[in-house]
Amino acid sequence: MQIESVKNPAMGKHGESGFTTIEMFVAMMLFAIVIGSIYGLLEIGRSARLNSLQSSETSQDVRVGLNTIGKDVLNAGVDFPNAGPLVPNGWLKNKLLIPPDPLSTGNNLTPVIAGYQLNTLVNTSVSPSVTVKTDQVTLISTDNTFNGGLPLNISNMNVSSMQLVISPQITPPASQAQDNTVVNIGDLLFVNSSTIGNGVICEVTDKGSNGRANNVIRIGPDPLGLNDLSSPTGNMGRVGNPAGAQRISMITFHVVDDGSGQGTGILTRTVYGGADSSGNAIASTDQPLTFDVVAMNIRYALQDGTIISNPVDSQFPNIRQLSITLSVRSPKNDPKTGKPIIDTLTSTFNARNLGYEKN
């Protein structure tokens, strides 16, 4: 019997087989396509996660700012006259940048003071440079923790001595003091009497005694320029007997340019009054709230239902609701667009202590 061997053409001289060059090239191409697809999916996920994190961070920053504003809006006007006590003439313009009051007898410090387009953000990274105007708002309320929630009785306002004299009280409530121990240097006081209508505002510069221990509140020249002692007819000189004094809180929310030249700023809560480490009265303290702010706009609902952005001072007593829009830019650019993410939120707050009622 004859046996013939059949050789496999794919086998070499030693009976070995392998991939051809074309097969290797095709396999490598398929491998590259698979790896590229996997990388693309991973990059999409990474980019989406980065965007989500940045958006979450900016949203959180916006919420912190708006929530802080909302708390002070809700407190605005607590035991405080809507028409507002007097401050020296021109004070609103000089300190809060509010347009001049046409009245020559003084300005009124109402519970809500609107400031339309008063602050500027500058973007010099583009040519020509771009400026954006932002709004501000000032809120005033009475501090109910002061003196057990009761006014401090004042028997005399002495302009020449620059002092308020506290009257003694025979049987005060247990929570009410009748001396200056409840007062701090730098406190802002709302002093009201029948001789001056809605009262006046002053800043405590020192404390002392005169005939009775701890019975004097000194209101000399102050860093805020509130203490109007120019003459017996000045604001403080018009305080009659009897009078009452209560501590107030005055706060302004505004955006301060951060100096980066990117058109961004810092939402700042400015608290007026207070004292420094040496115990001297100061004008104010700034508390930064939210960074990389690119816009803040405020709309106001008046008592008659009118919605406006730029109320004049005669409309300030009628403000009942605030709608605040805050826009914040992410610190890093979106990898896809190469531009920062802008997160904008709007919150509406009722000034419940000013008698707001929803229609």
Q: What is the pLDDT of residue 340?
A: 82
**Exposed/middle/buried for 154, CB within 10 Å: 0-12, 13-18, 19+?**
buried
| 175 in a structural domain | yes
DSSP structural state of residue 8: -
Q: How far apart are CA 215 and CA 207, in angstroms?
A: 8
Residue pair 254/118 in contact (Cβ under 8 Å)? The answer is yes
306 vs 335: which has the higher pLDDT: 306
- Flag whether pLDDT at 114 surpasses 90: yes
Q: How far apart are CA 77 and CA 143, in angstroms?
A: 10
1 vs 253: which has the higher pLDDT: 253
Residue pair 165/327 in contact (Cβ under 8 Å)? The answer is no
Contacts of 345 (CB under 8 A, 6+ apart): 59, 62, 63, 66, 325, 326
| 6 in a structural domain | no
> Domain range holding 321?
54-354
Q: How many C-beta neighbours within 10 Å does residue 75 have?
A: 21
Q: Which residues of 345-359 are buried (b: 16+ CB within 10 A; e: fewer)?
A: bebebbbbbbeeeee
Q: Name the percent of the chain lying above pLDDT 90.
A: 43
Q: Enter the pTM of the model.
A: 0.81
333 vs 306: which has the higher pLDDT: 306
| 241 in a structural domain | yes
Mean pLDDT score of the chain, rounded to an integer? 84
Q: How far apart are CA 116 and CA 123, in angstroms?
A: 20
- Flag whether pLDDT at 115 surpasses 80: yes
- Flag whether pLDDT at 43 surpasses 60: yes
**Residue 358's pLDDT band (boundaries 50, 70, 90)?**
very low
**Residue 13's pLDDT band (boundaries 50, 70, 90)?**
low
Query: Which H or E element spans position 56?
Result: helix 21-75
Q: What is the pLDDT of residues 276-322, one digit of tens each?
A: 999 999 999 999 999 999 999 999 999 999 999 999 888 999 999 99
**Residue 99's pLDDT band (boundaries 50, 70, 90)?**
confident
| 212 in a structural domain | yes
- Flag whether pLDDT at 5 surpasses 60: no
Of 68, 82, 80, 73, the C-alpha closest to 248 is 80
Q: What is the pLDDT of residue 207?
A: 94
Counting the structural domains of the chain, the total is: 1
| 275 in a structural domain | yes
> Which parts of the chain are beta strand (E)?
86-87, 107-108, 112-123, 130-142, 152-158, 163-166, 188-193, 200-203, 206-208, 216-218, 243-257, 265-272, 284-302, 307-308, 319-333, 340-350
| 83 in a structural domain | yes
Q: What is the pLDDT of residues 149-204, one digit of tens each?
A: 888 988 888 888 888 888 876 555 655 668 899 999 999 999 998 888 788 999 99
| 25 in a structural domain | no
Q: What is the pLDDT of residue 7?
A: 54
- Flag whether pLDDT at 359 surpasses 50: no
| 26 in a structural domain | no
